[in-house]
Structure 1
Amino acid sequence: MDIPLRKDVIGATSQDGAESLQKESRVGGLTAELPTVYPAKARSVPDGLASVGVASLHIMARLGSPTAEPVKHRLDSGADITLISLDQYETLPEKPPLRQGLRMKLYHLTGDATILGYIKTTMYVASDCGRTLGFEVEAYVVKNMRVPILLGEDFQVTYELGILRDAEAGTRVTVGKTGYTILASSSTSDDLGFECRYAHMAQSFVRRKAPQRVKAKTRARLKRAGPPPVRAEEDTIIPAGAAWMVKIGGPFSGRSDWLVEGLVLSQEDGSIMAAPTTWIKTTDPRIPIANPSGSPWIIKAGDI
């Protein structure tokens, strides 16, 4: 049985809500079991397709200067630390010096990426009300990282960033108790090129075992991950209100046909880009991508 959410309980603190529910549940000195509440879904998809159309979030921000070119800052709750690619660091208008310190010994990366040091700079973001917000950022500079900036849990916890999702009005990032919100958009599923791990300080015999554990976990992760993402092979312009066959590339060896999962991505201007789930032949791998907006889109070679 579906039970509507109680308005007198919503908005109370978790402790107040728990006490209220306990009082309601006592009947004749005995504790009665309350029925389960089932919140309504904001989106419905066929069975087995819950992940279709879901991608990580990003915000547009300027790094290092309020007049710098805005770039995508990806929000990633799965990363402990904030990272910036070496290429993006080199483009900063006023490059802060690379620092080395004790914290550098606490982190390591798997893959061919390497940490060069960390920097402290300022990130500037336009809020929904038009006010520019400035955030102090401590970010580790990473060589061979494929995304410009990844805002980790350290940054999100420091400023108490939250996510407000609305299927119709779009997604917003809340900034603590300030009342400011920031528009967020769906990102393409960028492959970072590495996995970031947290390395705890340990005894020497534990450290000797660490490489074996990392290799074992990496093998297990790759086994669970399934087929890697595909990328656009060439720059493609999709006219407004049209669908275009986009040539893609990927590790297709071993089979003559593949199933490429569909995806729906929202853009900063509120428009969307959609690609259906498609069977492809490795002899001519192409997928249809629709542009229902009123302006042309450009897909760059290497985009996922």
Structure 2
Amino acid sequence: DSCADVSLISLEYYKSLVNPPTIKKGIKMNLWQLTDKDSKIKGYVAIPIFTMSEQNELIETEVEVYLVPLMSVPILLGEDYQLNYELMVKWNVDTRMMILYRDNPKYSIKAMAVDKTEDFGRLRASVKAIQIHLALAIKDVQLLPQTSKLVEVTLPTGDKSQWVVERNLIPNSPSSYLLVPNTLVKAKESTTVYVTNPTDTPRILQKGDVIGTVHKATDYFDKPVNEDQKVEMEKTTLSLKNLVNEQTTRQEEVLTDKGGPKTADLPDPKLYPSSQLQELLDVGELPIHLEEKTWSMLTKHIKAFSFDGRLGDYLAKA
């Protein structure tokens, strides 16, 4: 047990594969950074894992692994694999130690003891460094199609700094992602960040899923190196602030226009003749047997409408 949250694959072993999958890079790859400066992760790939059960059945699973150069083992399966497939370890006198998928004896694998590898200590150190700077989902969350939802995540403890949860793309299939925006949060054990599901299919975030990397706000944002740069940054900030205020004002004006007629509004100056009642009123699609009765009723109460230049006048008490 390497205590790794994530699954890793040796870069050298990856290159030896006959048809290796395409290496993916970008935002998600930057989530993972080993403390050893000479062992930076080169990307990530999704690969199948084949294991032979005690019943001589071939079990195929899939895992997303991160490529690390100079590993002394070909593949290291982390806690993510264990949680996704609900691996359980059982031991008894007769069968010794077994690994089961979802506690199902049909899918059992004989466990074998192995010695620690030379890079075990480095992996332990890197895992600790990784876990400190990750925002992880605290509980399972369902994201409905085309919606955003606040997801509760963990934050680094023991530090009273403000934090930035960095924007991220969370893969949920080879061609679709969940979206996480940059979020500035206060220092505490947990907080909430918005996660968006832009797809047409409901998605599930599981407890422990990585939502994004966490950075100290003081280290994340740009700082001016001289007075001239400070002035330029202040100008840019002011321009953005004015732009936001202008857009907010426009939105408020639109909402006011859509709020309905006000008491100070003048009546429509256009003249609508009562002789064109049937052309001007939209009553929808009426059944044929109701058309005559409907128009007869509307004609009878013609004064309730503002035809012929008059205001509507309906004699009734509320």
Fold conserved between structures, TM > 0.5: no
Larger C-alpha radius of gyration, 1 or 2?
A: 2
Task: Please state which structure has a larger fraction of its residues in strand.
Answer: 1
TM-score by length of 2: 0.39
TM-score, normalization by structure 1: 0.41
Q: Where is the helix percentage greater, Structure 1 or Structure 2?
A: 2
Higher relative contact order (CA 8 A, sep 6+): 1
